[in-house]
Amino acid sequence: MSAVLAAGPLVNGQVPLGEAIAFWILGPISLAGAIGMVLLRNAIHSALSLVATMMCLGAFYIIEQGPFLGLVQIIVYTGAIMILFLFVLMLVGRDASDSIVETLRGQRWAAALFGIGFALMVALGVGRAFTGERPVNLDKPNVDGGNVTSVAELLFTKYLFAFELTSALLIVAAVGAMVLAHIEREGRKPTQKSLARERIRSGRPQPLPGPGVLSTGNSIGTAALLPDGTISQESVMAGLQEFPPDTGNPRALDPADYGDSEVRQ
C-alpha cells in the first residue's frame, strides 16, 4: 500500500493514488474555505476560512514536489500575514460583523457581473495555457535536496530583476506605511524617573481611591466612604457622577459624632 501511496513518477499524466486521495480531500476544503471567506459575516471567521484555503494550497505545493514553496506558503501567508490580519481584526472588536445595507445602488449586481467576468477570463487564460502541456515529474530538478537550490538559482539568475524590483516595491510600501502612521512626538519621551517625579510633584503620589465595597453593593458606582462616613468624591468614576452614588450603609456614622467635625471633600 505504501509503495502506491509514495509519490511515484508521473507516467503520461497519470496521477498516483496518494496524490489523488490528497487532492480530493484538500480540494473541497480549500474551495469551502474560499467560499466561506466571502460568505461569512464575522470578519474573524472569514479570515480563518482564508487560512484554511492557504494551508490547503501549501499542502498542494508539497504534493506537487515543491516542499520548500509549500512550507514557505504556510510560514509566510498563514503564519505571518494572516496573523497580522487577525491582530487588526481583533482590535476592531468582536461584534464587527458586516453591514448588509447597500450604500451604492446596483453595486451588488455590478460587482457580481464583473466578478463572474473576471473569473471566466482567468479560467480561460489558465486553461488555455495548460492545454497540450504534459505534466512533468520534478524528480530530476529536485535531486540532492535541489528544490531550494533550483528556486534560488532561478531567483538569482533569470528572475533577478523582477525579484529585486519586488523587494524594492515591498520596501517602499513598508517605509510608506511607517511614514503615514508615524506621529512626531512632542517633547521627549518621559522616562520612568521623570514620571515618578511628576507624580510626586502633582501633590497626589498615591492612586485614586477605589470604589466602595459595602454590604449593600460592590458596583463600580458605589462610592467609597471616608472614615467620617462621608462620600469620597474621588472614588466615583468621572462618567458616573450624575448617578446618585450608593451611600452603602444607611447608618453611616454622622460626622458630628466626632469631636473633629472637619468634613473632607
Partner 1 sequence: MSHLAVLAAGQNLPGFGNQPFWISLIKVVAVFAFLVIMTLFSIVFERKVVGRMQNRIGPNRTGPWGVLQSLADGVKLAFKEEIIPALADKPIYFLAPILSATPAFVAFSVIPFGPEVSMFGHRTALQLTDLPVGVLVVFACSSLGVYGIVLSGWASGSTYPLLGSLRSAAQMISYEVGMGLSMVAVFLFSSSMSTSQIVAAQSHTWYIIPLFVSFAIYAISVVGETNRAPFDLPEAESELVGGFHTEYSSFKFAMFFLAEYINMVTVSALATTLFLGGWRAPWPLSLWHGANSGWWPMLWFTAKVIAIIFAFVWLRGTLPRLRYDQFMAFGWKMLIPINLVWILAVTSIHVLRDRNWPAWEATIVPLAFVLLLIVVPGLMIWEGAAARRAGQDAEDEEDAAQERPTFPTPPMDLTIPTPPRRLATASVSRPAAELPGTRSEVDTDG
Identity of the residue numbered 133: E
With a CB cutoff of 8 Å and minimum separation 6, the contacts of 33 are 49, 50, 51, 52, 53, 56
Question: Which conformational region is residue 144 in: left (phi greater than 0), alpha (psi within -120 to 50 degrees), or beta?
Answer: left
Residue selected from 194, 216, 249, 261 as contacting partner 1 according to rule CB under 8 A: 194
The answer to whether residue 181 forms part of the interface with partner 1 (CB under 8 A) is no
3-state SS class at 104: coil
Phi, psi of 214 (to 5 degrees): -120, 175
- Binder to partner 1 among 127, 132, 145, 244 (CB under 8 A)? 145
Judged by CB, which is closer to partner 1: 127, or 205? Answer: 205
Q: Which is nearer to partner 1, 84 or 183 (CB)?
A: 84
Identify which range of 43-51, 178-186, 230-238, 249-257 contacts partner 1 by CB under 8 A: 43-51
Considering the complex, state which of residue 94 and residue 108 has its C-beta at the smaller distance from partner 1: 94
Nearest residue (CB) to partner 1, 184 versus 257: 184
- By CB under 8 A, tell whether 200 contacts partner 1: yes
142 binds partner 1 (CB under 8 A): yes
Total binding residues for partner 1 by CB under 8 A?
55
Closest listed residue to residue 231, CA positions, set 212, 205, 215, 208: 212
Choose the binding region for partner 1 from 88-96, 110-118, 119-127, 251-259 (rule: CB under 8 A): 88-96
Query: What stretch of H or E contains 162?
Result: helix 160-181
36 touches partner 1 (CB under 8 A): no
CA angle, 46 then 50 then 51, to 5° = 115
Round to whole Å and give the CA distance between 57 and 53.
Answer: 6
Amino acid at 167: S
Nearer to partner 1, 73 or 246 (CB): 73
By CB under 8 A, what part of segment 2-31 binds partner 1?
2-3, 5-7, 18-19, 22
* 168 near partner 1 (CB under 8 A): no
Closest CA to 222 of 251, 243, 253: 243
Question: At closest approach, how far in Å is the CB of 16 from partner 1?
Answer: 9
87 binds partner 1 (CB under 8 A): yes
Stretch that binds partner 1, among 64-72, 127-135, 216-224, 252-260 (CB under 8 A): 64-72
For residue 79, state whether it binds partner 1 (rule: CB under 8 A).
Answer: yes
CB burial readout 15-32, b (16+ within 10 A) else e: ebebbeebeeebeeebee
